[in-house]
Structure 1
Amino acid sequence: MKLVRFGPMGKEKPGLVDPEGKIRDLSEIVPDIAGEALSNKGLAKIAKADWQKLPVASGRPRIGACVGGVGNFIAVGLNYADHAAETGAAIPTEPILFNKAPSCIVGPDDDVMLPKGSVKTDWEVELAIVIGERARYVSKQDALSVVAGFCICNDVSERAYQIERGGQWMKGKGCETFGPLGPWLVTVDEVADVQKLGMWLDVNGERMQTGSTKTMIFDVRTIVSYVSEFMVLEPGDVITTGTPPGVGLGMKPPKFLKAGDTMTVGIEGLGVQTQNVIAWK
């Protein structure tokens, strides 16, 4: 299934993308694409519904973040061998984890706002994991059983905040609008091999990132299992899993976003995002 949330910011309704590409309103089936609706039981309830009888969303509604009520927004750093190489970083021996603020989450086509005074805001196409079942110390073998599905995340990053201002990376990762998610949450059963997905990102129509989840250092199963050693994962938690090469920081000279730029972000089978970059306001 392709699950979606649509409508004005803060008032999104749950939806299903039908085989014709239309959004069907799931409000009579589940209250939101969040929490219990993401559990195996909740997803089975949605799958059981006759989509042809669900009302079609009218017009061209705004698409919100594909998961609501996110409690924990976890990210993995330097998780692609080719990205580590472009930044000159050593290959990690264990996953590097940091937090993105849930308050930075926006819809896939919402504006990305540069932080006040920022001159080093960067782009990162990433595969995000959405948790569906409570998980603690889950094994690699069982890791996918606690996953509801996958979506695109643009892990927007302010590099000066992240690297030059001391402390943890989260300073440059959780700024307002720095977490576009969606357009859809694609359930696990619809993704044939999550470790063989092509991914890309353009800025103003110019290809910046081209990669594949096959070059992940730590795969999806490993990441879910590993994170569950350090915290209890709850339905609706999101783990974004790292980026392939082509970020602005790795270019010579470095290249960063400015107001008026447009990012287009895609992952095979998971849809496309488009964000306009605006100045702080």
Structure 2
Amino acid sequence: MIYDIRHLSTYAYETPVSFARCVLRLLPSDRAEQRVLSRAIEVRPVPAASAARRSFFGNDVVTVTIEAAHRELRVDARSRVEVTRDTGDLLRQASRPWEEVRERAFAAATLAPSSPAHHLYPSRLVPILGPLSAYAHVSFPPGRPILEAATELMHRIKADFTYDPKATAVSTPLIEAFEARRGVCQDFAHIMIACLRGVGLPAAYVSGYLRTLPPPGKPRLEGADATHAWVSAWCGEEFGWLGFDPTNAVLVENDHIVLANGRDYADVSPIDGVILGAGMQALTVKVDVVPVT
């Protein structure tokens, strides 16, 4: 499936901003089962300087410096991406007991970016918390196959939590979203990651997109109008890293386009940085993901 993606972010400032340095993680990159056909970012005002780099986890990052005074900042990212992901009958396949996968993860002998070792421990936004570990253990009784256990955990989060864009903000602590049983895809992903790490399993945070309009006869997925978030769980050498979307209780397939991955949202936020200015600011984000026919 080929998609045209547009991600338009507009910042409106109450008073002029004299200087801005922004870190942009808005360019999808080639990955397993995903190929980038084209991509570009347009920033207004035009930056005085721009630099591109590749992060440790393989995300393409662009840093722009704006020295002209401005009341509005527009970041317009466009890309065309081909996704060839197919989970098929994955859930019918036999997988190792989760305890064995845990042991193999802790025994990892490499620190390459794809190593499970980077995603076993607490991160800035995902601490290990007793209530979340206890919640996870319901799905992970002794000897249960890893795929079966992780899939049930994903379905429980979807069933027990309410998707509510007004319930949380980017800065809401994980435990508050968990106790409220409400939030958005970022919260759902962080909760599942904390649950998996709480039982000793590697889990990564993935940001990306969902197709805006569903295929005929299928329901529209939550989170399709903005950047989406889901979980990549390491399921042993046989299966590697697999995507689980707890917001929609589905395995990650061709409706999902990967933008960036890391330990939590702090590693992959689409735009961050610093500005010199006073007063309030308002952010408007528009995302369109359209299949190319």
TM-score range normalised by the length of the shorter chain: under 0.3
| Larger relative contact order (Cα-Cα within 8 Å, sequence gap ≥ 6) | 2
Q: Which has the larger radius of gyration?
A: 2
